[in-house]
Amino acid sequence: MLASEKIIGFVPISDAARARSFYAEKLGLKFVSEDSFAVVFDANGNMLRLTRVQEVRPQPFTILGWQVSDITTTVRQLGAAGVEFERYGEFMQQDDLGIWDAPGGSRVAWFKDPDGNILSVSQH
């Protein structure tokens, strides 16, 4: 039933101005609108709603990610825009840019938004 329909992503935020700045200026997403419920972006044809909440309780896992064609270039560009990539210690070998080579061949790098939500970029 829903296989041919577009997905809408939802990410909780506590400070709309701070989130809008991060998602637009650092991640380069196209701002669409803002109201008392959400800040809305166009994420390559998909709606991303940054939902206003009283308190964000960041989860210990990725809640939103982008599949990219060249993760090295993407991580460098995001880093130049001020995005800081997460390091997960010795149990996960990451390169100098923070990219992890998964056993199955995927490559992933993680970062947080201003509310501490874990986001990622990955190449498959």
pTM of this structure? 0.94
SS3 78: helix
Asked whether the beta carbons of 32 and 42 are under 8 A apart, the reply is yes
Divide the 124 residues of the chain into consecutive groups of 10 and give the mean pLDDT of each group: 94 98 98 98 97 97 98 98 93 94 96 98 98
DSSP 24-74: IIIT-PEEEEE-SSEEEEEETTEEEEEEE-S-----SSEEEEEE-S-HHHH
d(CA 113, CA 33): 19
List domains and CATH numbers for the chain: 8-123 (3.10.180.10)
d(CA 122, CA 68): 6
* pLDDT attached to residue 91: 80
